[in-house]
């Protein structure tokens, strides 16, 4: 894996978020992937669980914008900075997120482990 491949994966992740497409999001992950939304909670396990997470988490989001930047790539892993902006569809309240991904990939460029740390404003 190189930086260009990671940027392509991040673009696909961002596209899935912008379009709120849980099937597209799940397709980016291996069948046995671990998705750690928080360092203190148990991970979502498997691409089906990632899909269900995306169904619920994006349900109240509209007008999503996503940006990312590759920080580094090493041995099938990558680090990226990301930011997202959206509106809560239920209230119209703006939300801004800023975070970091630590990602591991299988040989088919599917994410096998995602760990994220983020803050909201």
pLDDT tens for the chain, residues 1 to 121: 999 999 999 999 999 999 999 999 999 999 999 999 999 999 999 999 999 999 999 999 999 999 999 999 999 999 999 999 999 999 999 999 999 999 999 999 999 999 999 999 9
pTM: 0.95
User: What pLDDT shows up at residue 112?
Assistant: 98
User: What pLDDT shows up at residue 111?
Assistant: 98
Classify 84 as helix, strand or coil.
strand
User: What pLDDT shows up at residue 43?
Assistant: 97
User: What pLDDT shows up at residue 91?
Assistant: 97
Question: With contact defined as beta carbons under 8 Å apart, do 77 and 105 qualify?
Answer: yes
User: What pLDDT shows up at residue 12?
Assistant: 98
User: What pLDDT shows up at residue 28?
Assistant: 98
For residue 92 the two structure tokens come to 């119209």
User: What pLDDT shows up at residue 23?
Assistant: 97
The residue length of the chain stands at 121
CB-count burial class (<10 Å; 0-12, 13-18, 19+) for 37: middle
């Amino acid at each position: 894996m190189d930086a260009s491949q990671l940027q392509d994966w991040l673009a696909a992740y961002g596209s899935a978020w912008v379009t709120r497409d849980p099937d597209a999001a799940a397709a980016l992950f291996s069948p046995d992937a671990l998705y750690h939304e928080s360092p203190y909670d148990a991970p979502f396990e498997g691409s089906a669980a990632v899909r269900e997470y995306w169904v619920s988490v994006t349900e109240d989001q509209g007008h999503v914008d996503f940006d990312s930047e590759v920080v580094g790539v090493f041995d099938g892993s990558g680090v990226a900075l990301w930011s997202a902006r959206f509106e809560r569809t239920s209230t119209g309240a703006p939300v801004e997120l800023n975070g970091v991904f630590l990602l591991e990939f299988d040989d088919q460029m599917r994410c096998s482990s995602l760990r994220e740390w983020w803050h909201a404003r």
